[in-house]
Amino acid sequence: MADAEIGLIGLGVMGSNLALNIAEKGNRIAVFNRTASKTHEFHQDAGPLRDRIVPCDTIEALAAAIRPPRPVIIMVQAGAAVDEQIAHLRGVLSANDIMIDAGNANFRDTMRRFGELEGSGLTFIGMGVSGGEEGARHGPSIMVGGAEASWKRVEKVLTAIAAKYEGEPCAAWLGPDGAGHFVKTIHNGIEYADMQMIAEIYGILRDGLGMAPKEIGQVFARWNEGRLDSYLIEITARVLEADDPETGKPMVDMILDRAGQKGTGKWSVIEAQQLGVPATTIEAAVAARVLSSLKDERVAAQAVYGGGVAPFPGGRDEVLADLELALFAGKVAAYAQGFAVMAEASRAFGWNLPLPTIAKIWRAGCIIRSQFLGTLAKAFSGGPVANLLMTPAFVQMMQEANPALRRIVARSAEAGLPVPALSSALGYFDSYRLGRGTSNLIQAQRDFFGAHGFERIDSSGAHHGPWGSGAA
């Protein structure tokens, strides 16, 4: 019988948990994995949810099990594997059926797939899913891009499985074609920045103040009760309080300082550059991960230059208060950059992205959920906003917090402690708030060596300087 509400391909960690979540919320779901034994093993392990799961040995059986128009979630590795599944599905699906790519896809791949399916009768959704394994199982944040009619077909299922914030589902249709995956990309860029700044604060506490992991964990746990209340701060405290079961030492001290990445942070930086929007804090975070991978070079450089850290100046209570405010200011800068990128992408691609809605669906389920997202949603609800930093609520926040960020960046430089993301956040803020910058000199230089011309402050049109024969 074709009575399943939805289908799913790919029973890895994320796919399995998403399928269980869908079944748990009362929906019948057909599932398929390339390895048939894994499909049946998943079905057997589903326990009381088994009756709502239809295990399928073939793509044809999967399609036959779903009521039309048939939505099928694809949960496989981003890239060629998705294209392979789309090719298989095109052979068994019919007009108005919906393929849903729920992986961390590059939004440009998503837009290409929309183009390739044009005229086929089939429809497509690019769906960003945030929250990791836990979110997939119990409630992620869901960002949907595609035709609104396709969203309406799956809206009931997706809002049922999404995280809830005060009863409101953290799932929404954000616009056509690649809108959902683009928003997820920028979400991950902000996530990179947030994680990097937290790591920089941890470095100051560890190396500048000489604090042990559990003591640092207590600091983060205390901060999580105030303005920094967020998922990443919460798990940072828990990570720092954990011990390694093999050695009994703090778990964090047993982990190699070499960070991985899967591409979404890099994509967010590339797209910001393509759109001409500064996202310096996100850029610094991505670069910091790349630098972290150069472990052997860093060890060799320490042997040459020394790795000593000077004592961090200031009394402990004063420094801790400044660190909390500095991290908050950096977080605001990262969000301001991310939302500025999304606003420009919305204009460039004709998406009409609902920025207040994006902030709302990030309030629960996703990795960057934070207590100030409600305030952020209100800031964008009053009409067009040039930059988050110009909204009254965030002006007040940054006026209070930016002096602490300035002190922490300055003292970190003196102590020899790297804070690239926090430094970039401060540089972004200072550049943004400076009415007269220094690019007039850059324009003069460009005109000198390339006759590019410049604007004058006292007249319109293009002008050239009196550089004479020295210009080349």
Q: Catalytic amino acids?
A: 184, 191
Question: Which residues lie closer than 8 Å to 157 by C-beta, 6 or more apart?
Answer: 5, 6, 22, 25, 27, 71
What does the pLDDT look like over 288-321, one tens digit per residue?
A: 999 999 999 999 999 999 887 888 988 999 999 9
Q: How far apart are CA 31 and CA 37, in angstroms?
A: 12
C-alpha gyration radius of the chain: 25
Q: How far apart are CA 15 and CA 102, in angstroms?
A: 9
- Which parts of the chain have pLDDT scores under 50? 471
Residue 469: per-residue pLDDT: 62
- Identify which of 251, 258, 262, 255 has the alpha carbon closest to the alpha carbon of residue 296: 258
Q: What is the pTM of this model?
A: 0.95
Domains, the chain, ranges and CATH?
6-177 (3.40.50.720), 185-433 (1.10.1040.10), 439-470 (1.20.5.320)
Strand partners, 168: 165
Cα 124 to the center of its chain, rounded Å: 22
Question: Which residues lie closer than 8 Å to 156 by C-beta, 6 or more apart?
Answer: none
Beta strand spans in 119-202 (E): 123-130, 141-146, 164-165, 168-169, 171-175
Residue 12: per-residue pLDDT: 94
Contact yes or no for 365/140 (Cβ under 8 A)? yes
Residue 308: per-residue pLDDT: 79
Residue 1: per-residue pLDDT: 62
- Identify which of 465, 67, 106 has the alpha carbon closest to the alpha carbon of residue 264: 106
